[in-house]
Structure 1
Amino acid sequence: MTDPIEAEPAKPVRFHLHLVSDSTGETLLDVMRASIAQFDGVEPEEHLYALVRSPRQMERALKEIEAAPGVVMFTLVGSEMRRMLETRCAELGIPAVAVLDPILATLSGHLGLPMSSRAGAQHELDAEYHRRIEALNYAIVHDDGQGQNLEGADVVLFGVSRTSKTPTCIYLAHRGVKAANIPLVPGAPLPDRILSLKRPLVVGLTAQPERIVQIRRNRLLSLNEDRDTEYVDEDAVREEIVEAKRLFARQGWPVIDVSRRSVEETAAKIINLLTDRRGQG
């Protein structure tokens, strides 16, 4: 009996994808990647043209588009730049998609208001932008128990190793929330100054022991370290988590189980807790 012939894996579909923006291109990248994720086996070669605000810059982008035809996605407010792009793409037979048009048309019709037509309006250096940059700097300085100004935080996260403290703080920073995090290490008591924080919302993060062990093992493997230690011993990890929960209960801190939550979901829960706290203040 002959062995069945295994089918060769399908080759990925590759194509050129040109992204043209009069701003930073972040919105385009987010929309494009969310769209591409809906297709299996597709690998676009991305070409980003950011801050395209003059005919000369547009001509440069169009030359590259003509040299490597594919799909064009754009966010352009200025009518001249948009007309240049759409006209040339039509001549070349290249599809060009204005990704925000349906959203902006719907909002304009619903609100009864015209668009501002300001290039890069969503990325203006306003107070909100500076607040996010400040929050990001704060999160970096106060990661993993570092930094001295914990009272300056909006949120302080406590948890054993591998409960997504750092990525949650970084995500919160992008929402303008100053977040610090403190690791709970077995046998290492926390100073009174940390346990007596007044201004910040303090939140405990926990997870199922099996989940923590799995993440820790993967972490060690990525570092070419496969020795069995208490760090990945399920009984030891379970005791860590029990002790952490006891601390959270003693302090009266809200607790979030991150076992089945994405970082975004954990951050959303924390923001809701912050909103509730401020509403009670």
Structure 2
Amino acid sequence: MTPANPNRPGPARPGPARLATYFHVHLVSDSTGETLNAMAKAVTARFDGVIPIEHIYALVRSDKQMERVLEEVAAAPGVVLHTIVDRDLREQLEEGCRRLDMPQIGALDPLVGALSRYLGAALSTRVGAQHALDHDYFERIAALDFAMAHDDGQGATQDLEAADVVLCGVSRTSKTPTCIYLAHRGIRAANVPLVPGQEDGERLTALKNPLVVGLTVSPDRLVQIRRNRLDGLNASRASSYVDHDAVRDETVKARRAFERRGWPVIDVTRRSVEETAAAIINLLSERRSRRLASHW
């Protein structure tokens, strides 16, 4: 047996846990800043252990406002992301960042440039064009009103014919927040809860226009969610609402009802509201494509 070499390094020992890296990010927009904020969150989420300190400047539309932005950038050095459309304001921001030796990035530039080359179209310099009070805007507002008026089984069954989608599921399967999210995409969504001994979704089988989607969740996760809900309300836990056997029976019956009626089913156990909504939008798109194909 070869003796161990005392000069040979041993196996690497795990080093100390890496501390989070904080950095300043300045989000400069001439509109509401929603697009820029969402892009910044999506990008920084790709880096482990990185935590941005966000400085948000919305509705920046004058030289004086831009001067104030640059003063704050100088006070908290970091990365500058912007969606400034006005040419003069953009030049002011870019020149100010050069003086401060700060990186600045036009967040939409690569996509806008590529699309402009593809379309061969000139760019619009209208500020906040995506937030105009156009038909789509009012459609989103109407969809939000519809979702609130048809939340948790409210409204007559015949009123649901005006919906694009009706979500059905037992209590605490994210029906309401998913409907609200869909409404912000201009989709008219309603939801009907399955209540043991009262509502089993049978009335939805008569609907012709909307897509009915069943939402399910694992019994363990559902019990946890419901217990948290009761704790928040300072309510008693002594009920079938959080009894594990009763909850399992409730979810099994719900899934069987969905399958018996041929409704698409989405398991929300490990899905965020956004992911559930994306799956529903895909189902609506597929349905629309099938209907268009049937007309040709």
**By the TM > 0.5 criterion, same fold?**
yes
Structure 1 position 186 matched with structure 2 position 180? no
Q: Deviations over 1:2-36 (max 9, x none)?
A: xxxxx986554333321111111111101111122
Check conservation: 2:62, 2:89, Cα contact below 8 A: yes
- Alignment partner of 2:144 out of 122, 130, 136: 136
Give the distance between the partners of 2:17 and 2:145, measured in 1 at CA: 45
Judge conservation of contact 1:21–1:52 (CA < 8 Å) in 2: yes
The Cα of 1:230 is off from its aligned counterpart by: 1.9
Q: Equivalent residues in 2 for 1:44-193 (5 A)?
A: 44-148=52-156, 149-189=159-199
Moved more, 228-237 or 121-130: 228-237
Distance change >3 Å, CA 53–CA 273, structure 1 → 2? same
Q: CA RMSD in A?
A: 2.8
Unaligned runs of 5+ in 1: 1-6
Distance 1:10 1:145, change over 3 A: same
Distance 1:65 1:161, change over 3 A: same
1:273 to 276, 279, 283: 283
Deviations 1:67-110 (A, max 9, x none): 33222111111110000001011111122111111222222223
Give the match's secondary structure for 2:54: strand
Partner of 2:244: 234
Q: Any unmatched runs of 5+ in structure 2?
A: 1-14
- 2:3 corresponding residue in structure 1: none
**How far apart, in 2, do the equivalents of 1:183 and 1:206 lie?**
11
Q: Deviations over 1:95-137 (max 9, x none)?
A: 2111111222222223333322322222222111221122122
* 8 Å contact from structure 1 (residues 217, 226) kept in 2: no
* Worse overlay, 10-19 or 83-92: 10-19
2 CA distance for matches of 1:57 and 1:163?
A: 45
How does the TM-score come out when normalised to structure 1?
Answer: 0.85
1:207 correspondence with 2:217? yes
User: How many pairs does the alignment contain?
Assistant: 276
Name the aligned partner's letter for residue 107 of structure 1.
L
| CA displacement at 1:256 relative to structure 2 | 2.6
